[in-house]
Amino acid sequence: MPDSYKYVDHDYIYTDPKTGILRNLADITDPDDLLFFESGAVAKRIQELYEKPIKIKGVDSLLSIHRYLFQDVYSWAGKRRKVEISKAGKQFFPTTHFDNAFRFIDTLISDYRIISKGENLQIAAKLAEILDNVNYLHPFREGNGRAQREFLRLLASEKGLTLNLNPPDNKNVYDQYMQGTINSDIKTLTKLILDLIET
């Protein structure tokens, strides 16, 4: 699948102007090598978060998750992006209004916290709304999907639920997840989350 992301980064904040490769802590200059290195490093850190989870205090905890997951790969891990991003012609949230978006997502998290355990449909619907807004925010230059799936997993665990939005080799889950996030389809995301959450 071709990369349809577009970045407005005239100052090459994140990439090497000669290779176009993301600047990284390992000084890797080959895209395949970087993908391999990044995948392995992040998978290891995700496993560590299963054993010692980050407590979600608000949307700022998303930054902490990203910092933890990508600490071995990028110096800007856990920092808000400074460039504008679009995918397939759709613009993600503009950086100039990040503060407003962070405050709004915090209200969604507060609403989520008052839902009673066991109300799985309400829980799934609110998690879908949070996911939709976090995805639109797209606060990082790279690694948004992995950070937001971990964020949702940790929120679900507060209600005593297990949620894996990234099961291995499950194309159906992946397709629903992508359809829901790309098209801002909360109904699809709600159904997906409801199907996946386990007590």
The structure tokens listed for 10 are: 């005239």
Residue 1 has pLDDT above 70, yes or no: no
Taking residues 17-27, report their average pLDDT.
95
Question: What span, in angstroms and rounded, lies between the C-alpha atoms of 158 and 128?
Answer: 16
Q: Which residues contact 192 (CB under 8 A, 6 or more apart)?
A: 128, 165, 173, 176, 177, 180
Residue at token pair 């990284």 = 24
Summary mean pLDDT of the chain: 95
Residue-wise pLDDT tens digits, 46-91: 999 999 999 999 999 999 999 999 999 999 999 999 999 998 888 9
For residue 167, the one-letter residue type is P
Q: Which domains does the chain have, with CATH numbers?
A: 5-196 (1.10.3290.10)
Residue-wise pLDDT tens digits, 100-159: 999 999 999 999 999 999 999 999 999 999 999 999 999 999 999 999 999 999 999 999
Question: What span, in angstroms and rounded, lies between the C-alpha atoms of 92 and 89?
Answer: 10
Residue 44 has pLDDT above 90, yes or no: yes
The structure tokens listed for 147 are: 């950070």
Is the full-model pTM beyond 0.85?
Answer: yes
